[in-house]
Chains A and B, each alone.
Chain A
Amino acid sequence: MVAQQIINAVSLGGVYALLALGLAIVFSIVGLINFAHGELMTVSGYALLASLFLGFPFPAAVLVAVACGALAAVAMERVAFRPMRGASITSLLLTSFAVSSLLKVVFQNGVSARPQAIAMPSWMTGAFSLGDFTIGVGPTISIVVSVLALIALEVFLRRSVTGTAMRAAAEDFDVVRLLGIPASRIIATAFLLSGLLAGLAAMLWVAQRASVDPLMGFTPVLKAFIAAVVGGLGSLPGAVAGGFLLGVIEVFLQATLPAAAAPYRDAIVLSGVIAVLLVRPQGLIPAVRVQRS
């Protein structure tokens, strides 16, 4: 039972880590908390729905959906955030809220306010036995995908020129620009990566929930924000640590709280967040150059 709960925690934490990382990448470069990050997941979710509806085989539909998330992120930067470049953090924040609300309404009125069912392939709802306990295929995929994505991102940031430039930009954007690296490319890449991460997270999210709805991005972006803050805003390792920590706390409380205290679960989680921030105001693993929005 304990082992099972650990798997649950890692599986949930992995999804949170992907989401928080998506927020953190953009924040580390642009200083913007993109609250429309959740809507990138919604875009991916509906892209999956549409691709399946058009008769794409499942793996192709997933690829299309993730790609749509990435493209939507780049488009979002181009349309909404690029004209705002140089604006105050508050303006950027409000812009992201506006984009988020707009997309929600577009999906509600354009598709349907009703959640749309996505029947996952039957092998994904299966389970396999390992020793004494059964492991669901869903959580396993969730863990594997999150870990692979985290490794791939790490390799990209360490080994590629753009990745190195991005890490440098997170520390001091002005110097990177002085060295002749175009700012637009770095920012676009940051959004592209955040969109890819949102797309992947959306697939794992949808696989667990079997439906997509216009408001599906709200909870994840909130969780990602909490994870990113706990981890240390703008710090990529911090976002991952924060995501896993949040997942572990949530599963632990869900598993152990007595029924009478269960309604206070979210309150307890958030109190824990405050406690962490009291002890480490910059988060678990603070960013090298701390920015605040």
Chain B
Amino acid sequence: MPTSLYRRHHAALCAAVFGIALTAAPALAEEIIIGAATAQTGGLAPYDQPALAGLRMALDELNAKGGLGGKYKVNLIIKDTRSDTAQTATVAQELIDAGAKIMITPCDADPSISAGQLTQPLGIPTLTLCGSAPVLTEAVGDVMFGTYPADNVQATAVADFAIAEGKKKVFLLTSPDATYTANLPEYFGKVFEKKGGTVVGRGTFTMGQPDFSAEITNIKGLADQPDLIMTAAYEPDFPAFIQQLRAAGVTIPVYGADAIGTPTIKGLGSLVDGVVFTAAGYAEPGSKLEAFNAAFAKHAGHAPESTYEVNGYEIGLILDEAVKTAGSDDPKAIRDAIANLKDFDGITGKITYAGTDRMPLRPVALMRYEGGEQKHVETVTPDAADVPAP
């Protein structure tokens, strides 16, 4: 993989140099290097790759129009983190050495923080592809930006929905192995309890754990039976959990968040009927997102798998807007421009960073699996007062 990528970049670089030489334009196009430390292999690859595909599409389109802010041609350098936190820091350093002025990091808080430790002292704006833990930006500092709806926002949206449905008692299944799996269900629990529900039990799992039977037996043995199980487990743990839960004869509904909005989970068919999850947006007929999905399918040769693609695409748009506002390729100016973005018209809706801890304010789409399909329930922007603190 690294070889072929290297070749590709090499080719792209040659083409760029050649292109400049050929056009010999009066205003010589300037180049800005964006470093993408993302997982091409390992557990995060299923999330990073779609998001990166969306970002690449945006950058290709922008480059065709002259680059970021119409001025700076993007040279995107992609390196594989192998879904490993330490490796993420290593490749982030390589990208910084290569001259990256903007850094893109994986879809998870922990590797994003490790990359952020390196970019923060240099003031290089750093955006996670779809890492959604709200502690992520605070853990690094003012250069770190989330792009996806934050975990506490997603959890609030799902909790509001569960309360509105009349759910009263929830069981929270968490894993201490990742910030996402550890905290999201707890945010849910906070909102749920504040709005009159109760948390009747908690359980944990180890990511990659083969067997959930003991935990499931604990759930079955609860004196106070829950009417909902909330978890942020994703693949391959989520399929394992729900398979074993249903196999043990437990029919309690299971709700999750954005990480289970994937073709793998959809492929589980009737097993996941009724599972509610979140997405960054929903392609209503005539919406910008529907148009994007069509354009992406043409660009990539396949339809988007999830809303990670459009989220990645929006990162490109955000960067373009920020460079336009900054009027330069100075990392600090770009950072300030992103931090002050307000009501920016994205594809899925309005995106605001101004006044936040650099986790964007944006709408959340609630979805439900029904008969092997993803059905849209509603799109909401939770009340900021309801969203629990990170």
- Choose from A209, A213, A223, A254 the contact partner of B243 (Cβ within 8 Å): A209
Does B213 contact A115, Cβ atoms closer than 8 Å?
no
Tell me, yes or no, whether A105 is within 8 Å of chain B by CB: yes
- Choose from B41, B214, B235, B244 the contact partner of A136 (Cβ within 8 Å): B244
Chain B residues in 8 Å Cβ range of A289: none
Docked CA distance A105–B265 (Å): 23
Tell me, yes or no, whether B375 is within 8 Å of chain A by CB: no
Beyond A114-B263, A119-B267, A125-B243, is A211–B235 a contact (Cβ under 8 Å)? Answer: yes
Looking at A5, A127, A205, A208, which has the most chain B CB atoms within 10 Å of its CB? A208
Does A4 contact B247, Cβ atoms closer than 8 Å?
no
Looking at B204, B211, B271, which has the most chain A CB atoms within 10 Å of its CB? B211
Does B208 contact A208, Cβ atoms closer than 8 Å?
no
Docked CA distance A218–B46 (Å): 18
- Choose from B1, B218, B248, B270 the contact partner of A122 (Cβ within 8 Å): B270
Q: Residue on B with the closest CB to A207? A: B243
Tell me, yes or no, whether A108 is within 8 Å of chain B by CB: yes
Chain B residues in 8 Å Cβ range of A265: 206
Interface residues on A, range: 35 or more
Tell me, yes or no, whether B99 is within 8 Å of chain A by CB: no
Does B41 contact A105, Cβ atoms closer than 8 Å?
yes
Does A8 contact B214, Cβ atoms closer than 8 Å?
yes
Looking at A4, A113, A119, A259, which has the most chain B CB atoms within 10 Å of its CB? A113
Does B217 contact A263, Cβ atoms closer than 8 Å?
no
Chain A residues in 8 Å Cβ range of B247: 124-127, 136-139, 208
Does A114 contact B204, Cβ atoms closer than 8 Å?
no
Does B235 contact A115, Cβ atoms closer than 8 Å?
yes
Docked CA distance A170–B259 (Å): 48
Docked CA distance A125–B236 (Å): 17
Chain B residues in 8 Å Cβ range of A259: 202-204
Nearest-Cβ distance from residue A5 to partner chain B, whole angstroms: 6
* B203-253 CB contacts (< 8 Å) to partner A: 203-204, 206, 208-211, 213-215, 217-218, 220-221, 235-236, 239-240, 242-244, 246-249
- Partner-B contacts on A (CB < 8 A): 1, 4-5, 7-8, 11-12, 15, 105, 108-109, 112-117, 119-120, 122, 124-127, 134, 136-139, 205, 207-211, 213, 215-216, 218-220, 223, 250-252, 254-255, 259, 262-263, 265-266
What are 6 A-B interface contacts by the 8 Å CB criterion? A114-B262, A136-B247, A137-B247, A208-B243, A208-B247, A219-B210
Other contacts beyond A119-B267, A252-B214, A255-B214: 14, CB < 8 A: A4-B220, A5-B217, A108-B41, A116-B267, A117-B269, A127-B248, A136-B244, A138-B243, A216-B236, A219-B208, A251-B213, A251-B214, A255-B218, A263-B204
